[in-house]
Amino acid sequence: MKESKYADKQVYKVLINAPIETVWSELVDTTKPRPFFWNGSWDTPGLAAGNPYRVASNQGRAVAVIGRILELDPPHRLVTTFRLTALPDPPSRVTYTLKEKDGGTEFSLITEQVLAGSKSEKSMASGSRFIVDNFKAHVETGKVTFGARITLALYSLMAPLMPKAMRAENWPLDKAE
């Protein structure tokens, strides 16, 4: 039997105490930095299947993630390719699902097709938990967790030390995968 080159699919879930429309709006807001995405902003010509996107931070000087929108079914599902620009690993797949449940919204972040044993696998595992926990906090309270606020402050201080590979000029939208 041939062993897969991909890590197992990972599913991160949380129940958010908010209507599905509110949760969806927060997830896809392209107008401002998103603290649950490490203060990155969606940069895309439009949220539509087939369009490229990148997640830009540090006043647009750094790009942490590039990809392409594969599926969009508001307010229930968003599927993208996902590549961390600081790492040489191939793109993976990230799916966000929203379901009305118990008076709130069940939010799931699913990672698939992540190269097994890669730095992306390790980074996406910790990053996915950060996103889910802080997305919930942000939607419910308007703020991310205290730990995330400390992390974001440290990231801001370290911005001048970002890897050259993440500089925005290296990742124009037409380079998204």
Q: Give the list of residues 6+ apart from residue 11 with CB closer than 8 angstroms, or none.
A: 108, 109, 110
Is 13:106 a contact under the CB 8 Å cutoff? Answer: yes
Q: Over the Cα atoms of the chain, what is R_g?
A: 16
**What are residue 100's DSSP bridge partners?**
105
Tens digits of per-residue pLDDT, 47-98?
A: 999 999 999 988 888 899 999 999 999 999 999 999 999 999 999 999 999 9
List pLDDT tens digits, range 95-133.
Answer: 999 999 999 999 999 999 999 999 999 999 999 999 999
Q: Contact, 75 vs 16, CB < 8 A?
A: no
β-bridge mates for residue 107, sequence order: 14, 98
Widest pairwise Cα distance in the chain: 49
pLDDT tens digits along 17-46: 999 999 999 999 999 999 999 899 999 999
Task: Tell me the pTM.
Answer: 0.93
For 57, the token pair is 């931070």
Segment (H or E) for 59: none
